[in-house]
Structures are given as C-alpha cells and as structure tokens.
Chain A
Amino acid sequence: MRKQKKIASLAKIVLLNQVLLFLFSILGKSVGEAKKIKVVSPICTFADIAKNIGGDRVDVINLSDGLNDPHFVEPKPSMIIHMINAEVVIPIGLRLDMWFFSLIEKSANPKIFEGSSGFIRTYEGVRILEVPEYKIGQPRIGDIHPEGNPHYWLSPDNAKIIAMNITKKLSEIYPEEKGYFMKNAEIFIGKIDEAEEDLKKEFSRFEGVKAIQYHKTFTYFADFFKIKIVGELEPYPGIPPTPSHISQLAEKMKKERVEIIIYEPFRNKKDVERLSKITSATPTELYADCVPQINELKDYISLIRYNIRKIMMSIEGKRK
C-alpha cells in the first residue's frame, strides 16, 4: 500500500515538474534579442536570395541541405526553435514544402502564419506551369504537384521575381531599411542578368536539345534555356517509374532523338542507367538547389551555371 502511495506521488512530481519548467521559462523569456532580422528558408536557393537582399541586416537559416528531395524533408522537432524566433519565412508553396508549413504551423508564432506580415509569398507574379485542370482538394493518385509545378526557382527569370517579392516584403516590415534592400536587390538582379546573358550565349548552339527528366524538377529551367523536355521517368510526379513506363519512354526517346537524361543526385540511378542503356542518351546529374558545402554549387548563380555547363559537357561528349 505504501508503495502505491509512493507511486501516486510520483505522478504529482511529474506534474509539478511540468509546472515548474513552465514558470522558469516565462521568467527567462526576455533573454537578449539580436538586432538582425531572423529569416527561415526551406531551401538553399531562397536562403541565398534572402542573404543577397538582406545583407548584414538579416540572419538567414536554411533548413534543408540541397542534396535531397525538397518535397520530402523530414521536419525535426528541434527545427521549431528557428520558427519560434523567426520574423520572416520564405516558403516555396504550391504544396512542395508541406513539411515547412507544418513547422510554421506548430511554432505558435503568429508573425509567420500564412497571410501575416512575416510570410512571404515567394512565387507571387511567377507564371506557374502545369497547373492541373481539376480542382484543388480533389484527390489524385500520387500527384505531388496538385497546384501546378512548384520547381519555379530554377528559371533565372523567376529568381528575379522571387528576389523582388522578398525585397518588397522586407521593405514593408522594415521600412527604415527599404533603400538598403532595394540597392541590394538591384545588385543581385544585375548579377543574375549578367549570368543569364553569359550562359545563354554559351548555350545558344545547344538550344533545342531534347531531354528526359526524372521528375518535373527542371521544367522551368529547360523552358528558360530552350531545352525540349520530351518526358519524365516518373509516370506521375512522385510515382516511381515502372518497367512498362520505361520501355514506352525509350521508344519515344528513340523516335525523338533525345540526347540527355537529367536527374538529381537523390534519384534512383538504376532507372536512369537502364534507360540510358536502351536509348544511349547520356545520364546527366544536375542539382535542384544550391549546396553551401560544395564550392561550385555554393549559391544560386553557381547552381545555374553548374547545371548548364554539365548539360553542355554531356552533349559535347555525345556528339563527338
């Protein structure tokens, strides 16, 4: 009996502990606040753009590593800490980064909820491709692009729009820094223009090249550089390729004389190799996001340059 009482009081201790922890933290709430604007981004590209615009006024945190599928980042509880303290979030939207939205939602931070001042609608003004005919909310098997193709940042023109959206919103929240942000935006957009012009010139002789992509990741990128995407290894976005789909695709590729198969490092390379064997199209590994720890992919402009050069190398190797 005594033992039981002991255990019953254990329950009380657990409860008391929880209450104490709560009081403690209320007391500790006013720990020193840094002056920099805290921005949280789901991908390296958006973080890079935000850093370019915000300069030394912002502290940007990127929650993914650029090496994995941005659709399926595993949200970790400890990531919430960044959301609790965030002043601005720059989600991808269009249902690509639902994991990022789940973090926003659980942060109890009304500054960053959708529709609030700290929530930037990054794709405002971007022409979204492949918007499906059916209504949102109607389920469709396996489709992870229910509101259109969400990989819009891989077109440099869209990156400029994203940069402008971030500039506009940051200037609204911090009007005293508007001039600074605008000037940074001008410099950044100038850099993209320059890179665009260079790369388009370099690539001009390859325009019209035909490609297969694994997932609809490079649709905007291909659109911009005039690469003709003939099909995808995935029968539907998010659905892994089936043998029958691969053989159908191979037929189409032979007929259309597709030269390259583009895919990201996290895709199933066996599928790519199988298709390449049948069709002799060159497997070309591209990146969907910048990767801070790899020097030639360290920022957005490097990423675009890397991808376009990789494609040129593949085609040149093939045409030799």
Chain B
Amino acid sequence: MEIGFILFLALISQETKTLKGRALLNPDISAIGNIVNQTLLENKIKNEFFIKEFEFAFQGYLYPSIRADIFLTAHGPKFGANHEHGVEGNHIGLDLEEAYVSLLNIWGGFSGKIGRKYIEFGKFNPLHPEQWLYVDPPKVIQNMFGTENLIGDGGQIEFLFPLPFLLRIQGGIFRNFEGPFQDVFYSSRAFSSFGISEFELSFGTSYVGGKTEKEFANFIGGDITLDYIKGYTKLTFILEPILAVNEKSKFAGFYSSLFYSTRRFQAGFRIDGAEPHKETEEEHTENKISFGISPIFAFLLTETTKIRFQYSFFPSEKPKHTIFFQLIFGLGPHSHVLQF
C-alpha cells in the first residue's frame, strides 16, 4: 500500500503542471510538536513527561481537483498506559499516520478519498491531536476502538446533496491497521449542518462494522454540535454517544464537552461516560459505567502555539486524578479545519 502510494506520487510528479505560475507540486510542509506532562495521583504521585508526538504534514495539489495529504508522525506513549517499564509505547519512529489522495470531484456532487485515513466516524475520530480541545482522547474512543484513533487503509465515496442546507453522506471500505477489526471493515456517515445567524447546528450519524477476532462488530455513533461564533468569541457544545453492538455483547459510552474560547484562551470541560471494553465472559457480568469530568484551560499564544491544562477526575478508576500539562507548537502554514 505505502510503496504503491509513493510510486503513484512519483509517477504523477513527472508531470510538472503549474497553476498560472504557482507550482502544483510544491506542497505545504508543516510540523507540529505535542509535548505532555502527565501527573497521576493515587496513593503516590507519579509524574511522566513525554513527547506525545511530532507530526510532519505534506499537503498539496497534484492537479486542481486532486489533492494529497501525508502525515508522518513520531509517536510517544499512549495515554492511560502504564509506562513504568518504558519500552513498547515509547518507541520513537516515524509512522505513516495518514496518506491519502482526495478526488475533489468525481462526478456531480461526488467526491472521494483513497489511501490511509483517520476514519470519518463522529466528530472526534477524524481529528489530529493538535486539533483536539482536550489533552487526552475521550474514554469512549479508547474503550471502543482500543486506540486513540481508528485508522484504515482503503477508500471512501462522498456525496454532497444539492439542498438548501448541508447534507453529506459518505461510505467506505477499509482494512484495519490497528484497532478492533481483523481485516476489512465498512464505514458510513451522514452529516448535516444548519447555519442560523451566529449559530451553527450540526448532526451526524456514523457507522463502522467489520469482523473482529471473534465476531462481527458494529459501532454506531451519533454526534450533535452547536457552535455560537461571534468574531473571536466562540461557544462550542459537542455530544457524541457511541454504541458497540457485537454478536455476543454490547457496550456504550459517550463524551460531551462545552467550551468558551476567544482569541487568547479556551476554557471548558469534558464529561466522559463509558462502559469498559468487554472481551471476556467474566467481565461481561459487571456492567459498570465509568464517569469522569475534566476541566480544561488553554492559553493560545499564537495561532499554532498553545499551552493547555487539564484535570481529569474519574471516581471509579485508578488513578482517580490526573493532571495534564501540554504544549503544542506548530511551524508552517495552518488554517482552521472544516469538519464534516
């Protein structure tokens, strides 16, 4: 897959088309660093300082209607993992996080993407860590997918409806890379958004399904987002419940957050509620939902540099208290993401 993709890029780059002077194949290169300090408070204090990731992005046009996005990431350890003995999670090496070609128009209102991608499931999963409003991912995502983001190799087709409001649907077939599925899985998403003066109200439903080691697993998600944007003042509410329906079990979870932000800071909190991932029959019997609340505050130093503090309290978990401190910095061109 990767070699094929690189070959494809090389082939295409033989043709140096220019868009009236601007080189088409001159990609935007940007880099983002994400450094985290995590303090776990239980019976004793455990402090960890790590480079969460360093991400390099190459983005540009291959043709006016075809663009390529490549993200190479050096990962640090996963959140919530116990890295007392170092190793595993601490390997530093470049991973091909995402590498896909977007066909911005195939026919009519159809467009598509081919390659390795963060699956467009819900609001959180498609985002890169520097775009998160939080330091760590919501518990429900980790419990559902076993990873911080569900990623797949494959392709998807999208359709934008010619209606007076935004309605977009998407369907894709992917192979697993890491996470719950064994091999092939299917994804689909419908997204709709309405702008009423300063308000933007969005709804989405998402689905992914495929074979896990033992059974066929379905994940169904819903998401509601309400934004109020006036100048630089922004109020954002997100609610994203996810339900996993396997042949033998089911489990559910959600997260919800409310943020107020200006040009200089973001302040808000996230509420988590998630059932544990049930693999074995024993675990199946206890049906405990773990709730948590995390107040979060971030200073925005520049458009790409921010310092964020997060305190997470999960009364029924170990550790109960976690304090995060995060520094994110970026080099190169960046802009706000528009998410479907």
Which residues of A are in contact with B by a Cβ distance under 8 Å?
Answer: 3-4, 7-8, 10-11, 14-15, 17-18, 21-22, 25, 28-29, 31, 67-68, 72-81, 84-85, 95, 98-99, 102-103, 105-110, 113-116, 121, 124, 135-142, 144, 146, 238-240, 266
Contacts and interface: CB of A to CB of B under 8 A. Distances in A.
A146 B19 CA distance: 17
A253 B164 CA distance: 53
B64 A113 contact: yes
Interface of B: 19-20, 22-23, 26-31, 61, 64-65, 67, 102, 104-105, 108-111, 158-167, 169, 171, 188-191, 193-195, 200, 202, 205, 207, 209, 218, 220, 227, 229, 231-232, 234, 243, 245, 247-250, 301-304, 331-333, 335-340
Given A15-B207, A106-B340, A139-B31, A146 B218 contact: no
Main SS of chain B's interface residues? strand
A78 B232 CA distance: 18
A103 B338 contact: yes
Contacts of B108: 108
Contacts, number: 168
B327 to A, nearest CB: 15
A109 B227 CA distance: 26
A78 B109 contact: no
Contacts of A21: 161, 167, 169, 190
B245 A11 contact: yes
Contact of B338 (A106, A115, A238): A106
A11 B207 contact: yes
A103 B209 CA distance: 30
A74 B229 contact: yes
B245 A108 contact: no
Nearest to A113: B64
B105 A108 contact: yes
A75 B229 CA distance: 11
Nearest to A83: B160
B31 A108 contact: no
Nearest to A94: B22
A238 B232 CA distance: 15
Contact of A17 (B30, B166, B190, B304): B190
A110 B30 CA distance: 27
A117 to B, nearest CB: 11
Instruction: Name which of A22, A77, A139, A240 has the most chain B CB atoms within 10 A of its CB.
Output: A77
Contact of A11 (B20, B195, B220): B220
Given A98-B333, A103-B338, 16 more contacts: A7-B245, A11-B245, A14-B188, A14-B207, A15-B188, A18-B189, A72-B336, A76-B195, A77-B195, A77-B200, A78-B195, A80-B193, A84-B109, A99-B338, A102-B338, A137-B27
B158 A108 contact: yes
26 contacts: A4-B245, A11-B207, A14-B188, A18-B171, A21-B169, A28-B162, A28-B163, A67-B231, A72-B303, A72-B335, A77-B166, A98-B333, A102-B337, A106-B104, A107-B160, A108-B111, A110-B105, A113-B64, A113-B105, A136-B22, A136-B26, A137-B29, A139-B31, A139-B332, A139-B333, A140-B331
